[in-house]
């Protein structure tokens, strides 16, 4: 209830398994007309046709969420469309680099695995008339989809390999937390609250809390914030800028266990209780950060050993 997302749209290109997301189809450098090559990754080339099909799919997905006007939006001196065009090409290069790395490691995707996923894809598309029409109109055929399933599965296996190579345990995660505790707690806090409609109710509840009644039980009974009430008012960890200013100022000033006077915001009156950010609160974030770093570092190392050429002028 209290949290809000600022009105900025960020491009996030994440290597995930998406069934018909796009095609990473490439060819040997000698088998394609040079004018149709948008990038080279080692001996492989990424063709303009494959790139355009991938872009079409991503554009459709973005337009369905944000509308067509988004393409002219400024992104640090570029239009949103230009930024997406560049990100799509970069992702295709990353995917091709990953496929080569996995094949060099003798980790392969079998035809049987591809067929199984393709059958699942067909089943999911069975009643999607409009989607099937769109795919057909843009040349997204069986070969295209199977090729992407293959690429996605290589990426998926690459991610899994990175996770296995890390051998993360709670002990390792906690050691990282102790080493970087300031990073994980910087500009963040943890708090609980009870939200009520009027000041009188807030003051009455505050008296009961000060007399020894349990904050969490009172939150479950009286708080009007359904998202946190069921958890005893617990809001978890939040950073600066995520809450309305009046709430944020008080929440960040409280010591662990300290309870505030009623705080008025546009939502009503809050009684806020400070808390401590502990290892368990950020354990999964630490895990994801370490995995992400491993993936990015490994991918950078893979690409460093490859001759990569981009021809962005061909995708404008």
Give the residue-averaged pLDDT of 289-316.
95
User: What number is the average pLDDT over the span 263-286?
Assistant: 96
Mean pLDDT for 200-210 is: 97
For the stretch 2-26, pLDDT in tens is: 443 233 333 333 333 333 333 445 5
pLDDT digits (tens, 9 = 90+) for 121-164: 999 998 999 999 999 999 988 988 998 999 999 999 999 999 99
pLDDT, residue 9, reads 35
The residue among 270 and 34 whose pLDDT is bigger is: 270
Which CATH number describes the domain made up of 183-277?
3.10.50.40
> 316 falls in which pLDDT band (50, 70, 90)?
confident
pLDDT in tens, 19-51: 333 344 555 554 678 889 999 999 999 999 999
* Tokens coding 250: 């008080």
Shared fold status for 26-166+289-315 and 183-277: no
Q: Give the span between the Cα atoms of 68 and 181, in whole angstroms.
A: 43
170, 283 contact by CB (below 8 A)? yes
Tell the CATH topology of 26-166+289-315: Triger factor/SurA peptide-binding fold (1.10.4030)
Query: Where do the structural domains in the chain lie, given as residue ranges?
Result: 26-166+289-315, 183-277
Instruction: Name every residue whose Cβ is closer than 8 Å to that of residue 76 and which is 6 or more positions away in sequence.
Output: none
Q: Tell me what pLDDT residue 6 has.
A: 30
Q: With 90 as the cut, is the pLDDT of residue 271 above it?
A: yes
Averaged confidence pLDDT in the chain: 89
pLDDT, mean of residues 47-68: 92
What pLDDT was estimated at residue 26?
A: 53
pLDDT at 17: 31
Cβ neighbours of residue 46 under 8 Å, at least 6 residues apart? 26, 37, 38, 39, 40, 89, 92, 93, 96
Opening angle at CA 19, ends 16 and 22, nearest 5: 80
Predicted confidence at residue 32, as pLDDT, reads: 72
| pLDDT-based confidence at residue 215 (cuts at 50, 70, 90) | very high
Terminal Cα-to-Cα distance of the chain (whole angstroms): 42
Comparing 91 with 28, the larger pLDDT belongs to: 91
pTM: 0.76
For residue 182, give both structure tokens: 């300031």
Phi, psi (deg, nearest 5) at residue 310: -120, 145
% of the chain residues with pLDDT over 90: 82
Return the structure tokens found at 131.
């989607």
């Amino acid at each position: 209830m209290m949290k809000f997302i600022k009105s900025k749209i960020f491009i996030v290109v994440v290597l995930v398994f998406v069934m018909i997301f796009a095609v990473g189809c490439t060819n040997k450098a000698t088998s394609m007309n040079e004018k149709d090559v948008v990038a080279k990754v080692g001996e492989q080339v990424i063709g303009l046709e494959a790139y355009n099909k991938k872009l079409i799919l991503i554009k459709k997905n973005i337009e369905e969420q944000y509308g067509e006007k988004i393409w002219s939006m400024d992104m640090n001196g570029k239009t949103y469309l230009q930024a997406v065009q560049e990100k799509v090409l970069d992702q295709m290069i990353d995917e091709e680099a990953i496929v080569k790395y996995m094949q060099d490691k003798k980790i392969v995707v079998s035809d049987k695995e591809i067929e199984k996923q393709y059958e699942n894809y067909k089943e999911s598309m069975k009643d999607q008339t409009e989607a099937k029409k769109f795919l057909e109109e843009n040349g997204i055929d069986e070969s295209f989809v199977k090729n992407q399933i293959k690429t996605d599965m290589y990426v998926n296996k690459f991610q899994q390999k990175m996770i296995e190579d890390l051998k993360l345990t709670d002990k390792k995660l906690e050691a990282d937390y102790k080493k970087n505790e300031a990073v994980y707690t910087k500009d963040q806090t943890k708090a609980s609250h009870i939200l009520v409609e009027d000041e009188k109710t807030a003051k009455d509840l505050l008296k009961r809390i000060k007399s020894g009644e349990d904050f969490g039980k009172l939150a479950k009974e009286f708080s009007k914030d359904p998202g946190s009430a069921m958890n005893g008012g617990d809001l978890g960890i939040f950073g600066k800028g995520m809450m309305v200013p009046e709430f944020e100022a008080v929440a960040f000033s409280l010591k662990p266990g300290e309870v505030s006077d009623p705080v008025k915001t546009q939502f009503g009156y809050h009684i806020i209780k400070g808390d401590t950010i502990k290892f368990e609160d950020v354990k999964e974030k630490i895990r994801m950060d370490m995995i992400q770093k491993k993936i990015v570092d490994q991918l950078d190392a893979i690409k460093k050993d490859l001759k990569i050429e981009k021809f962005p002028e061909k995708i404008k």
